[in-house]
Amino acid sequence: MKPSAIAFGIAAALSVVLPAHAGHNHARCIVNFQTANSLVADPGPADAVVSKKNKYCHAHEEPGVNYIVGNAGWGHAHHHSNAMTQAGTGEAQDDPDLSTDDPNLPDPLLNLQQTWTPDGNGNIVVAWSGDSYLKLDTSQLTGNKMTTTTAKLEGARLNGLIELTAWKDEGGAVHSVIHREGVFVNVPYNLATQGALLVLTFPNPPNWTVPGQQDSFDIAIEGGFTKAKHTN
């Protein structure tokens, strides 16, 4: 399935109707040193895709909705509360779509879906979809290398992350660990095995209510995959 097809379903499921305001949207994906970068004034959307062979990342940001899906690299989706001319992010508008349009891409290993909407009482409700998950393919683990799948939430007093890390010992047995920081420390999760996949899901999708207004809300999600040497 192409990243665009996966994202179309997410956008339809998360769609919200919000008034336009003077912020801007930023989406960025990096896979194998290729960067797709999109900066768009509200109401956006900003959309960035990198797809090469069987590796891909798709990041999307618009007022009230952001998501990241993929199986490689690193994605970033950020709503800035200020206008593009005042952002000072240092980001250039690069090619937002570096996709090969391969129709046979594998399913995502990372699926982060988030909405952030006013509650009518001067607050913003930030909510993760029940379809969000982190996966790790243990068949790709080699030697003493460990692989980590990461999801991060930043801004709006909601900083935190959750990571799924796995490695193989000298006998080939798979070991895994979950690391949580910030707002994710008390978020319940399930970890299951599906063949060679480790799958982390959220039985009670997290949501947070924080003071804020739509035209001054600054929030970002990030997520992706990293590798490092494992040491006992």
The residue ranges of DSSP E strands in 71-206, in sequence order, are: 74-80, 97-99, 110-118, 123-128, 133-137, 145-154, 160-168, 174-182, 190-194, 197-201
Q: How many CA atoms lie within 13 A of 103 on its CB side?
A: 0
Residue 187: predicted pLDDT:
96
DSSP 86: G
Question: Binning pLDDT at 50, 70 and 90, where does residue 5 land?
Answer: very low
8 Å CB contact between 96 and 103: no
Contacts of 58 (CB under 8 A, 6+ apart): 3, 4, 6, 7, 29, 47, 48, 49, 51, 68, 69, 70, 75
pLDDT in tens, 70-113: 999 999 999 988 766 433 344 444 566 666 656 678 899 999 99
- In 3D space, the residue among 4, 51, 44 whose CA is nearest the CA of residue 25 turns out to be 44
How many C-beta atoms surround the C-beta of residue 127 within 10 A?
Answer: 16
- In 3D space, the residue among 210, 139, 203, 207 whose CA is nearest the CA of residue 174 turns out to be 139
Look up the domain containing 144 and give its range: 3-229
Q: What is the mean pLDDT of residues 14-35?
A: 73
Q: Model's pTM, two decimal places?
A: 0.85
Rounded distance between C-alpha atoms, residue 105 and residue 61, angstroms: 22
8 Å CB contact between 47 and 38: yes
pLDDT in tens, 217-231: 899 999 999 999 877
pLDDT in tens, 127-161: 999 999 999 999 999 878 899 999 999 987 899 99
Residue 1: predicted pLDDT:
45
Q: How many domains does the chain have?
A: 1
